């Protein structure tokens, strides 16, 4: 009985020993399965990363495009010690790297070393050819890892490290074109759009599918293409084609640079839009940057202030209010309006004019930009019609232009427009905030038979299969009747011929427009700083264009009025349009 008890006690002990042995065995299998034993693989996979699409100008020039980067990797243990200097000389010759740098990299570590990180596609091809020659020259030899009991040979490998964005013309078309940022995906550097067109069309420009090749490899590490290998085609992102001509864009940018310096302004913005289609032919700023090398001092230039900066527009709002009065039959252009010598009081506020008229016709209130006159006329507009009219023209709503981060501005709340003072000050451009593009779109109504259209910078994008997808929105909204638009158009032409826009006249071209000079509010009160603007149009027999110019904070002494700042720039833009063939003057 005692022997039986001893035998029973041994059974759990034996079970424990067997279980422990099984656990050790499984653990050993798991360990050897997980560690990198550098066993030679019989197959290979090569990846051909797809690239981001390009942004292309009207003439077909590449504004921004992507290129691949490669890195060169070698295992120093496989370099024949007797032929190390030959390897260094040959690699230096093919790669362009200094022999001293290559030698330092090889001697710095016993194992896998990256010799170069930023190799372009052409150099990568040369280095791949070099790798084959190095095998034939016996520069690479097998290495036995005695610790692991394996032998391997790894030569010179040229592998993708990522892509980088090239901005071929530096600061041209900035900040509109935008810029990109990098991120890592599967150890490959990728990029995505952050601002401007790069951001707005990020999904269009992004690559669709990376290319891959899988198959057995030969002794030199090359993939053997046969029935067992698999290939996935690389599909790059679509190319974005713009309505903007780089030549015309650069001409205007240079011009704005000169005017900014002369007027000592914070920024100048100019834009030309094809009135019937909404195509943006030029959108320029004096504040630009090089997307490839953005400096800290240029951070303030990264925003597209044509849509990301809102401001009180001043007198350029007057024709819009006047068109609403005409539409509701609240005024006749030939009605006489008393101006009181350029000074008029509503409640506690005294409204003043720059010119001291006693009487003006209703349309001459616009021609001579009378605050007193428009303040009185605005009282005839019902507050609901006033509010809805501003909304109808697109204020406080996105313009729809193909750029991100638009600031839509504000209009007075509907109940405020019941009050005389709000009707008055809004009518000459205070108490309302708008952006440059909203005003350009609104003025286009007068040059497009009362219709509102969506402005577009990009014309179409073309995918890897050459299919074109057009971005233009051909639909339109009838904002005001055709006859009202034509009437305001004539008043704007008269403003250029006889009023505040006289400096915009160009022989043989029909030009209309309105000036705006608005105080800038600082710390709760209006300062002696101004934003000056001129919005209008330039037409010949066959073409019609809507043009806007904004001069932010000109500080040249006595040069804050729009007639002395924005208007001459407008005229210069029109003259350049004639030079570039956009407009053809009629001869007398």
Asked if residue 112 lies in contact with residue 75, where contact means CB atoms within 8 angstroms, the answer is: yes
Grouping H, G, I as helix, E, B as strand and the rest as coil, residue 114 is strand
- The mean per-residue pLDDT over the stretch 545-573 comes to 96
Residue 31 pLDDT > 70, yes or no?
no
Residue 470 pLDDT class (50, 70, 90 cuts): very high
Structure-token pair, residue 574: 């029109």
User: How does pLDDT run across 64-97, given as a tens digit for each residue?
Assistant: 999 988 889 998 998 999 999 999 999 999 888 8
Read off the pTM.
0.85
Residues carrying CATH 3.40.710.10, the chain? 246-289+302-579
3-state secondary structure 190-231: EEEECCHHHHHCHHHHCCCECEEEEEEECCCCCECCCCCCEE
Structure-token pair, residue 537: 């149009």
Residues in the chain: 588
Model pLDDT, residue 6: 55
Structure-token pair, residue 99: 């022999």
Asked if residue 281 lies in contact with residue 548, where contact means CB atoms within 8 angstroms, the answer is: no
Query: Which are the contacts of 71, defined by CB distance < 8 A and separation ≥ 6?
Result: 114, 115, 116, 117, 118, 119, 158, 159, 160, 161
Model pLDDT, residue 547: 98
Cα→Cα distances 46→53, 210, 231, Å: 22, 11, 10
Single out the residue of 114, 205, 246 nearest to residue 402, CA to CA.
Answer: 205
Model pLDDT, residue 283: 98
Residue 28 pLDDT > 70, yes or no?
no
Category of 60 on φ-ψ map: left (φ > 0), alpha (ψ -120 to 50) or beta: left
User: How does pLDDT run across 258-303, given as a tens digit for each residue?
Assistant: 999 999 999 999 999 999 999 999 999 999 999 999 999 999 999 9
68-167 has which fold?
A: Ribosomal Protein L30; Chain: A, (3.30.1390)
Q: For a pLDDT cut of 70, what percent of the chain falls above it?
A: 91
CATH superfamily, with its number, for domain 246-289+302-579: DD-peptidase/beta-lactamase superfamily (3.40.710.10)
Query: Which are the contacts of 296, defined by CB distance < 8 A and separation ≥ 6?
Result: none
User: How does pLDDT run across 193-237, given as a tens digit for each residue?
Assistant: 999 999 999 999 999 988 777 776 665 556 766 666 677 788 999
Residue with tokens 């100048």: 268
| Rounded distance between C-alpha atoms, residue 196 and residue 402, angstroms | 9
Mean pLDDT of the chain: 90
Residues carrying CATH 3.30.1390.10, the chain? 68-167
| Rounded distance between C-alpha atoms, residue 585 and residue 570, angstroms | 16
Alpha helices in 291-348 (DSSP H): 305-308, 318-327
Structure-token pair, residue 570: 């407008």
User: How does pLDDT run across 42-60, given as a tens digit for each residue?
Assistant: 666 667 788 999 999 999 9
Model pLDDT, residue 298: 93
| Rounded distance between C-alpha atoms, residue 86 and residue 100, angstroms | 13
| Rounded distance between C-alpha atoms, residue 172 and residue 144, angstroms | 57
Helical axes 121-136 vs 84-95, angle rounded to 10°: 160
Return the higher-pLDDT residue of 432 and 348.
Answer: 432
């Amino acid at each position: 009985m005692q022997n039986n008890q001893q035998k029973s006690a041994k059974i759990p002990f034996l079970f424990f020993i067997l279980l422990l042995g099984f656990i050790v065995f499984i653990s050993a299998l798991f360990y050897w399965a997980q560690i990198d034993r550098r066993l030679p693989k019989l197959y290979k996979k090569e990846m051909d990363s797809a690239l981001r699409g390009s942004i292309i100008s009207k003439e077909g020039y590449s504004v921004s495009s992507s290129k691949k980067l490669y890195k060169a990797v070698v295992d120093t243990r496989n370099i024949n010690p007797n032929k190390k200097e030959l390897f260094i000389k040959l690699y230096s010759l093919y790669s362009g790297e200094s022999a001293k740098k290559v030698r330092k990299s090889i001697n710095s570590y016993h194992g896998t070393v990256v010799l170069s990180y930023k190799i372009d596609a052409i150099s990568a091809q040369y280095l791949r050819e070099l790798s084959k020659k190095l095998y034939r020259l016996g520069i690479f030899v097998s290495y036995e890892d005695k610790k692991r009991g394996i032998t391997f040979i790894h030569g010179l490998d040229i592998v993708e490290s990522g892509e980088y964005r090239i901005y071929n013309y530096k600061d041209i078309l900035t900040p509109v074109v935008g810029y990109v940022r990098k991120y890592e995906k599967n150890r490959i550097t990728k990029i995505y759009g952050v601002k401007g067109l790069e951001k707005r069309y990020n999904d269009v420009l992004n690559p669709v599918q990376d290319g891959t090749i899988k198959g057995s490899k030969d002794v030199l590490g090359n993939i053997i293409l046969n029935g067992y290998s698999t290939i996935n085609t690389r599909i790059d992102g679509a190319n974005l084609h713009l309505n903007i001509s780089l030549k015309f864009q650069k001409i205007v940018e240079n011009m704005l640079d000169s005017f900014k310096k002369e007027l000592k302004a914070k920024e100048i913005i100019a834009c030309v839009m094809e009135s019937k289609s909404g195509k943006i032919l030029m959108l320029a700023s004096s504040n630009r940057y090089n997307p490839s090398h953005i400096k800290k001092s240029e951070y303030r230039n990264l925003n597209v202030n044509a849509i990301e900066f809102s401001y009180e527009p001043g007198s350029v709002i007057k024709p819009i209010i006047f068109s609403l009065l005409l539409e509701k039959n609240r005024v006749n252009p030939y009605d006489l309006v008393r101006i009181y010598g350029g000074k008029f009081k509503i409640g506690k506020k005294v409204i003043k004019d720059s010119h001291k008229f006693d009487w003006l016709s209703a349309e001459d209130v616009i021609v001579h930009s009378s605050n007193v006159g428009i303040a009185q006329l605005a009282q005839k507009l019902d507050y609901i019609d006033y509010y809805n009219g501003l909304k109808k023209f697109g204020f406080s709503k996105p313009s729809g232009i193909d750029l991100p981060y638009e600031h839509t501005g504000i209009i007075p709340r509907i109940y405020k427009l019941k009050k005389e003072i709000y009707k008055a000050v809004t009518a000459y451009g205070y108490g309302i905030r708008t952006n440059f593009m909203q005003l350009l779109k609104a003025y286009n109504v007068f040059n497009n038979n009362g219709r509102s259209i969506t402005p577009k910078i990009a014309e179409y994008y073309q995918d890897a299969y050459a299919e074109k997808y057009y971005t233009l929105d051909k639909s339109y909204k009838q904002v005001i009747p055709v006859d009202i638009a034509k009437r305001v158009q004539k008043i704007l032409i008269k403003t250029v011929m006889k009023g505040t826009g006289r400096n915009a006249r160009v022989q043989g071209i029909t030009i209309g427009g309105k000036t705006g000079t608005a105080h800038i509010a600082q710390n709760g009160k209006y300062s002696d700083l101004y934003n000056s603007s001129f919005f209008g149009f330039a037409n010949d027999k066959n073409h019609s264009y809507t043009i806007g110019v904004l001069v932010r904070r000109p500080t040249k002494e006595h040069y804050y009025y729009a007639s002395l700042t924005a208007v001459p720039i407008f005229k210069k833009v029109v003259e350049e349009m004639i030079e570039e063939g956009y407009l053809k003057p009629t001869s007398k």
